[in-house]
Chain A
Amino acid sequence: MNNEWPLYEVFIRGKHGLSHRHVGSVHATDSQHAIQNARDVYTRRNEGVSIWVIPSMQIVASCPSDKDALFEPSEDKIYRHPSFFQIPDDVEAM
């Protein structure tokens, strides 16, 4: 019988109000256990104020072979980035 604890992915929001960020994984038997393990493993240095965990099995990921179709179309839309636009030097911070 396989008794291995399932894997959970751990996401932590740091103090500065940024989004939860993937930090790693833990093994745990249920969601509450996973939260506690994530706390014990990934916040030993005061890294976070909020934790999300999700069973790794439930992550839906894009397929590597779709990479070109998914991401290349945005590569030439350089006007979406602020550095595309030249602002005259005598205009102050923008």
Chain B
Amino acid sequence: MGDNTLVLGQRLSEWCGHGPAPEEDIALANIALDLIGQTRLWLDLAGNREGLGRDSDMLAYHRNPWDFKNLLLVEQPNRDFGVTMMRQFLFDTWHLETLRILSHHTDKDVRGIAQKSSKEVTYHRARSTNIVIALGDGTEKSQLRMQSALNRLYPYVGEMFMTDKDDLIDMAALRPRFDAHLSATLNKATLTKPESEFYHKGGKTGTQHSEHLSHILATMQSLPRSYPEAKW
């Protein structure tokens, strides 16, 4: 959970100062801030359970690409605003369903983070859903862009519903609610779900990330890795 929010928060923060309007710039930064906040909670908890004295900063800045367990979807580049918002919409829809279940988890700490996060993510999903609808059902040009964004990113959806030994919940069970929100939104957005259900995998297991992740980490980790003695 923490790696997903970290990598996506990092991606979104690339937009700061470059958005299509000040209002959208500010809104994207709010989402990035929420995700970075969630990252600290999840990774501090992970470090705490690991028991080796690592905190969220150690886990964010001093792990290697193969240690990261984020979904391939979140490491995909921003490209244009359409791809960024489609990626956000797909992630938010999955994220909200996941947090909804984790909010009832038997572990008190997991439950606490999930409950706090799901309030934030409810808003994220509402906003990204509106944008996907507006841009899909906007102009001819925007409809084309959004359809191509969906085609580009749909092959990263399947991985979100794979369950492996590290998962706390049955991910496949989230799919029906995800699909329901997806179809309702695409319908309003006049977009068509790609026919192929093929999907890439290897992100959440860390076995085969895309080439993008190591670039993200090289940038993000540059200061702590270059000056390991320094405190900032």
Contact = CB atoms under 8 A, between A and B. Distances in A.
B134 A29 contact: yes
Interface in A1-59: 5, 26-29, 32-33, 36-37, 39-41, 44
B130 A41 contact: no
Interface stretch (B21-29, B151-159, B194-202): B21-29
Q: How large is the interface on B (under 10, 10 to 19, 20 to 34, 35 or more residues)?
A: 10 to 19
Contacts of B123: 39
Q: Which secondary structure dominates chain B's binding surface?
A: helix
B127 interface: yes
B221 interface: no
Interface residues of A, number: 13
A32 B30 CA distance: 18
B91 to A, nearest CB: 18
Nearest to B31: A40
Given A37-B27, A44-B30, A27 B130 contact: no
Contacts of B21: 5, 27
Contacts of B27: 36-37, 40
A38 to B, nearest CB: 9
